[in-house]
Structure 1
Amino acid sequence: MPEKDFGRYSRKRDMLSVEVSPKMTDRALRIMDALVKRIFAIGGAVEIRLCRNDRERRATTIVIAGVDVTTIRLREKREKVVSENDDLSGRSREIRVDLVSTGVLLFDRGPGSLETELLIDEGPKKVEDGLNDLIIRLIKHAGETRLKENERQERLARWEARQQMEGTQEKVIKYRIGNFYEQQALERERVNELFNDADAYQQAQKIRVFVDALSECMSTEDGTVAIDSDEADYLRWAHQLADRVDPLCESPPSILDDGFNVAEIGPKRPR
């Protein structure tokens, strides 16, 4: 890897995130290889994806149990070194800041991450020695993330069930209210019908009492009315009317029951 690129594999290509000096390349690749193999051994995966904040760059993502646990990068720690050089005329001094490789390797979450290192060389304890602990932490994080997601899904399911239940209850309430008003209307109709029948019955009784009194007035000295007289026709009509009004009697036919159709009178018009 070129020194001017600080030993960085291009993040614009599908490569693992490794940024070290040429001197540390072999060790860095062995460490990354060991990490990838251990992730695969527990059923996980290491994927290279486009960065969220920079679609032209790639990031290495560790996936365990279907959970995106973290992005990860293996890099070499560098220190800033300030140096002063005379310019060509010797009249002024140029201040220069260089990044110098330290030989210390570390794992972090990638460029732009403000979190502390996931794993770092610390004295005699090297990154290689802490790979198992790192994987255990990643597995624990995956489990916690999965539990939180399951809890979120359960809360969502309970909320949806509650909404459905409330919607069902609302439909039941609406049905019961509608059924109540329907039954109430039917009952009101029956009550009104009863009142009307009772009034009609009383009216029929009044007509009959009146017709009996009228019949006595129309009778001759022997207490009869001539059957073919106008008086007899009127009395028969009055009795029939009382029967039509009385809800307890069969109603004889009446002209009031029929409509009057003008079209049925006279010759039909030609079409």
Structure 2
Amino acid sequence: MDTVGELLRQWRHRRRLSQLDLALAADVSARHVSLVETGKSNPSADMVLRLADQLDVPLRERNRLLLAAGFAPRYAERPLTDDALAAAREAVERVLRAHEPYPALAFDRRWNILLANRAIEPFFGQVDPELLRPPVNLLRLGLDPRGFAPMVVNLDDVRTVFGARVRRQLAVSPDPELAALHDELLGTADEEPAHRTSDTGVVIPMIIRIDGRELRLFSTITTFGTPMDITLDEVAIESYYPADAASAAYFTPLPRTAPGAPLSVPFR
């Protein structure tokens, strides 16, 4: 098992910082950072978290650092359905509902879908039911031949964009399961798109062929700004927008739903 010093050194190298860089950012001496990393000084819990904050260590890994230093974990991990996260879940649901009639969904660190709005449902019509059994994985849904892949006109571009996103995520916070999923679905994805299908050069849209027409969609990502729970730290909301008027015309307003009414397919 790695010591807290070894783990901190790994994170420092991952962030490409010197001991002096980290020391200046954390307002401690470079000698103290060196002593902690070599195991010659036992850091307090506050010092572990101060260094972790400057290294932008995810909450899940901060707990691991605390355990390695001999302290109890500081951050809880509860399902999004937990009563303690009711306000946060309601916030996610509001974002998803407000984005209708355009598709939006929330997923976790391994791209497993947690919630989705009703606008996503028409796209499931040609998906193998096996892929819709919980947990429904967005990467697999988008790239597996049994999922959306046959519908995506510019699949090479989409694979490249997904691949870059996952690699950035793994660089920030390594995860063996996500790495295995990347190797399975994106192992041969290019580092950069071979060609760009955007008419404007501003974004690379996903072009989906459905109901005899082609839809051009681009997306944005929303995350919680100051999470103190591991689940919230790892939740991302992806909202899709039409990239042109023809694509916007495909989506029709949906009937209003009462607050608290179910969203789309119960993914969990």
Please, what TM-score do these two structures have when normalized by structure 1? 0.18
Q: Whose RCO is larger (CA < 8 A, sep 6+)?
A: 2
User: Which protein is richer in strand relative to its size?
Assistant: 1
Bigger-Rg structure (1/2): 1
User: Which protein is richer in helix relative to its size?
Assistant: 1
Please, what TM-score do these two structures have when normalized by structure 2? 0.18
